[in-house]
Amino acid sequence: MPISHGQNHTVLITGGAGFIGSHVVRKMVMAYPGYLIVNLDKLTYAGNLENLKDVENYPNYRFIKGDIADGYFINDLFSNWNFDGVIHLAAESHVDRSIEEPLEFVKTNVLGTVNLLNASIQNWKKNYERKRFYHISTDEVYGSLGDTGFFSEKTSYKPNSPYSASKASSDHFVRSYGETYGLPYVISNCSNNYGPYQFPEKLIPLFINNIIQNKPLPVYGNGKNTRDWLFVEDHANAIDLVYHKGINKESYNIGGFNERQNIDLVKLLCSLMDKRLFRNEGESEKLITFVKDRPGHDLRYAIDATKINKKLGWKSSVTLEEGLEMTIDWYLANDDWLNHVNSGEYQDYYKMRYKQ
């Protein structure tokens, strides 16, 4: 059953200082003044409270720093706050990092999720009226497509990277808590997001950052891998809808029917950046450098978003070109934010990967 929340509804959002999480926190804080939104974030390299400057003083917003992998801390948190709902976004999310440090992904994505599930069932004590555990996941759990076809909610799981294996595992745990303990849950699996506040280790913000700095654009393999791109605010709107209207125990695929081969996307980005930076057409493209492929690199993702469209009335509203332009404008206008994330650990990581 879809749930209707009244006033005095307290929602825990995990990972709310991260990229997608911060858009979801902003959306929920602004759209639901009668809810109390509690943002729990570990503030790793990818979490940044600057992402939420515009809502930090709202009366219905609270921030708590903490680690979902710490079960004692999570149990205390749940007994202190008595949450009505959980929107769980906290995750290690970068595939390349998962290849180097798989255990970090198991710790946060698997153990962290199970800690939240345990705390939910212990705290709710089978009184599940108006309660909901919403787990945010990825299309990568389905593995890789060939040249044709789409991932639907019925596609079987076949994760190929430590990251996607950890997300697949967490999806299974959520489902199992529904079957075993009756936990009311919903899951959504989304395609590649892009937009403001994304940490520049992912393709689009990394390449915007490198074009600004005239650094090489490292395209993996032959650049023919294909991703299905969604503007992050469209995803945040879908999450709002699934949280409120999604059917208990169901999962929803979220995507914008916006497939591009990496090389085509990168060329589009280069040409938009040339215009914005008043560079000669073709200048940024010269930075493209083909590098060794990512191990286990999935060829193609493409989401069939028919279910969420037909059942909940959601569809993406921003085209890829519009979304890229908004994203580029945001990064160019927020050089402080970029300078901040460009310092420290990120620089070391980038140098380690590309030996520059």
Ligand X SMILES: Cc1cn([C@H]2C[C@H](O)[C@@H](COP(=O)(O)OP(=O)(O)O[C@H]3O[C@H](CO)[C@@H](O)[C@H](O)[C@H]3O)O2)c(=O)[nH]c1=O
Nearer Cβ to ligand X (62/294): 294
Residue with tokens 């909901």: 132
Cα 93 to Cα 45, 46, 48, 134, 337, distances in angstroms: 12, 9, 15, 18, 20
Mask for 243-272, x = binds ligand X (CB under 6 A): -------------------x----------
Residue with tokens 């198991």: 106
In the complex, the smallest distance separating the C-beta of residue 346 from ligand X, rounded to whole angstroms, is: 12
Q: Which stretch binds ligand X (CB under 6 A): 26-34, 99-107, 118-126, 136-144?
A: 136-144
Distance CA 248, CA 88 (A): 16
Q: Which stretch binds ligand X (CB under 6 A): 10-18, 38-46, 138-146, 329-337?
A: 138-146
Tokens for 28, please give them. 């929920």
Q: If DSSP codes are grouped into helix, strand and coil, which group holds residue 240? A: helix
Tokens for 127, please give them. 């009184």
181 noted as active-site residue:
no
* Dihedrals phi, psi of 28, to nearest 5 degrees: -70, -40
DSSP alpha helix (H) spans, 83-190? 95-100, 102-105, 112-124, 162-181
Nearer Cβ to ligand X (122/289): 289
Q: Which stretch binds ligand X (CB under 6 A): 21-29, 78-86, 134-142, 151-159?
A: 134-142
From 41, 92, 139, 171, active-site residue: 139
In the complex, the smallest distance separating the C-beta of residue 355 from ligand X, rounded to whole angstroms, is: 14
Mask for 45-84, x = binds ligand X (CB under 6 A): ----------------------------------------
From 163, 185, 252, 346, active-site residue: 163
Site for ligand X in 183-222 (CB under 6 A): 191-192, 202-203, 206, 218-220
Distance CA 229, CA 265 (A): 10
Give kind and range of the element (H or E) at residue 40: strand 35-41
Nearer Cβ to ligand X (20/121): 20
In the complex, the smallest distance separating the C-beta of residue 341 from ligand X, rounded to whole angstroms, is: 15
329 noted as active-site residue:
no
Contact call for residues 214 and 348 (beta carbons, < 8 A): no
How is 61-101 classified by DSSP, letter by letter?
Answer: EEEEE--TT-HHHHHHHHHHH--SEEEE------HHHHHH-
CB atoms within 10 A of CB 182: 14
Decide the pairing of beta strands 251-254 and 185-190.
parallel
Site for ligand X in 298-327 (CB under 6 A): 301
Decide: is 42 part of the binding site for ligand X (CB under 6 A). no
In the complex, the smallest distance separating the C-beta of residue 66 from ligand X, rounded to whole angstroms, is: 22
163 noted as active-site residue:
yes
Tokens for 185, please give them. 């849950």
Decide the pairing of beta strands 226-231 and 259-261.
antiparallel
Distance CA 290, CA 102 (A): 26
Tokens for 55, please give them. 């809502």
- Residue number with the smallest Cβ distance to ligand X: 138
Contact call for residues 68 and 119 (beta carbons, < 8 A): no
In the complex, the smallest distance separating the C-beta of residue 218 from ligand X, rounded to whole angstroms, is: 5
In the complex, the smallest distance separating the C-beta of residue 108 from ligand X, rounded to whole angstroms, is: 12
Nearer Cβ to ligand X (89/111): 89
Q: For residue 190, list its beta bridge partners.
A: 138, 254
* Dihedrals phi, psi of 94, to nearest 5 degrees: -100, 120
Chosen residue from 22, 51, 113, 138 binding ligand X by CB under 6 A: 138
Nearer Cβ to ligand X (120/284): 284
In the complex, the smallest distance separating the C-beta of residue 123 from ligand X, rounded to whole angstroms, is: 28
From 92, 140, 228, 304, active-site residue: 140
Nearer Cβ to ligand X (43/263): 263
Which active-site residues does the annotation give?
A: 139-140, 163
The site for ligand X (CB under 6 A) is made up of 93-95, 138-140, 191-192, 202-203, 206, 218-220, 225, 227, 262, 294, 301
